[in-house]
Structure 1
Amino acid sequence: MSYAEALIPAQPAPPEAMKGVSRARVAGYFFLALWALLGISLIAMMITNWDNEKFFRFGPRLLHGLWITVKLVGLSFFLGAILSIPLAFARMSTNKILRSLTYGYVYLFRGTPLLAQIFMVYYGFPQARGFFETIGLWWFFRDPFYCGLFAITLNTAAYQTEIVRGAIQSVHRGQSEAAASLGLHKLITFYKVILPQALIVALRPYGNEIILLIKSSATVSIITVYDLMGETRYAFSQTYDYQTYLWAAIFYLSIVEIMRNGWARMEAYLTRHLRR
């Protein structure tokens, strides 16, 4: 921008745009107040109908279920991240067969419900029990937790593959050309130049994927995994008290908020040089 251009005052936004922004802001405040009112009502209901006996009876079980949920989400996300890197390169490969196979995998796991995938693993793989016993993997697929872990890992790997692919392709080609002009090897260029920039782009999608994974992990309770939702269903079957689901909702909300704020702080720390 030249000095003469800098002296020209900025043009104000048109009134129509300002009206649209103000309406959206009012609508946002309205829904925020609505959710706050709903939360206060639920808390008031819990305080009014609080039952210490049920809380101390099922509280430890819910905490154990919370630990199972955290372990399931953490392992599946970590394993999915490891799988996503070679799959992302396969998606960008010039080999049509490899690219088509990877595209089919991503399309299948992103286009079908996670619950159906869990059912396919939990109920479908035991049909080949003899094969898995021969190769020594039956101990893995006979356990509901490992079946859920396997299905969720494949599911999140498909989503993370697209995150990694999009992040790598967002890095300008000139970065690779500049590194090549300096005589850097392609592997060094990728790990030292391309990957750090791609991970910055992928931070926000990764955070969204973890939050979605936390909430979708509740589906494993259908196959008798006693995660947070599984323990909640057990407590409700013993008491028929709706408070058990309110406790579970509070636990899930707490996990999501801790993850969201922690991820936002990490993102702000890693991208602090971009705001200077």
Structure 2
Amino acid sequence: MEWYWLPEYAPRFLEGLWLTLQLLGLSIFFGMSLAIPIGLAQVTGPWPLAWTARAFCTVIRGTPLLIQLWLIYYGLGSLFPFIPGIRESMIWPLLREAFPYAVVAFSLSVAGYEGEVMRGAFRSVPRGELEAARAMGMSPFKVLRRIWLPRALQNVFPTLAGEFILTLKATPLAATITVFEVYGVGSIVRQETYRIYEPLLFVALIYLCLTFVLVIAFRLMERRMPQRSA
């Protein structure tokens, strides 16, 4: 085992770590912002909306994330340069980078998987609690905000934690579209130093530490949540 390369590449690993955290955080934020209405639509929406949400979850869960990522980057990304005026617009510097497409792909993946989880979560809330809230004169939005959504999230909180960890472990796929997060930097080290095992072990250690931090964070948050009544 030789680690002479580590001091030289440490700054690049820090940049890759920051990129990994950004990708994970943005994907979870945007993904859950879509997953909640997707899950709710499957439970309460009119059948066209419910069918659309269910079809979206089926497509996302039934196709590999790598293919989704490539379709968005090489498909959607290749169309923007041909749109008149897009190169002169303010968003062109963003659209020509690979990172936004990775965020979109991972966000849709989170939305597809967690949308199905949220469907079950909304269904798991006892109807009596919702009817009691309505009887007290709460509007539908207030029932959702104060009763239904908090209870649904509470029911599936451990499941969501596990899903987010799986999303973290999927972030190396972003390296296939030149988003050099932690794994991408490790690949660069392997190519430039011809060391195979050491960079891989170091990358694995970083992901292990990130997973440990996520597990501890979710456990602390779970302890702060009010206990469910029997």
Q: Tell me if both proteins adopt one fold, taking TM over 0.5 as the criterion.
A: yes
In structure 1, the gaps of 5 or more residues are 1-48
1:216 is aligned to 2:170: yes
Give the whole-Å Cα distance in 2 for the aligned partners of 1:205 and 1:131.
42
1:229 is aligned to 2:180: no
Letter in 2 for 1:264: R
Number of residue pairs matched?
A: 226
Give the whole-Å Cα distance in 2 for the aligned partners of 1:246 and 1:178.
55
1:131 is aligned to 2:86: no
Corresponding residue to 1:108 among 59, 78, 87: 59
CA contact (8 A) 1:132 1:138 kept: no
* Structure 1 residues 181 and 274: CA distance shift in structure 2, 3 A: closer
Match in the other structure for 1:76? 27
CA contact (8 A) 2:99 2:179 kept: yes
Give the whole-Å Cα distance in 2 for the aligned partners of 1:207 and 1:133.
42
TM-score (norm 1): 0.76
Matches for 1:1-276 after TM superposition, within 5 Å:
49-51=1-3, 53-129=4-80, 130-131=82-83, 134=86, 138-241=92-195, 242-271=197-226, 273-274=227-228
Give the whole-Å Cα distance in 1 for the aligned partners of 2:193 and 2:212.
29
Superposition misfits of 4+ residues, deviation over 6 angstroms: none
Shift of 1:140: 3.8
* Structure 1 residues 61 and 134: CA distance shift in structure 2, 3 A: closer
Shift of 1:184: 2.1
TM-score (norm 2): 0.91
Give the whole-Å Cα distance in 2 for the aligned partners of 1:132 and 1:168.
44
**SS at structure 1 position matched to 2:179:** coil
Letter in 1 for 2:185: E
In structure 2, the gaps of 5 or more residues are none
CA contact (8 A) 1:140 1:147 kept: no
Give the whole-Å Cα distance in 1 for the aligned partners of 2:61 and 2:219.
26
Between structure 1 and structure 2, the one with the greater Rg is 1
* Structure 1 residues 262 and 138: CA distance shift in structure 2, 3 A: same
Give the whole-Å Cα distance in 1 for the aligned partners of 2:146 and 2:78.
46
RMSD of aligned Cα (Å):
2.0
Please list the CA deviations of residues 1-54 of structure 1 after superposition, one character each: whole Å capped at 9, or x if unmatched. xxxxxxxxxxxxxxxxxxxxxxxxxxxxxxxxxxxxxxxxxxxxxxxx243x31
* Structure 1 residues 132 and 122: CA distance shift in structure 2, 3 A: farther
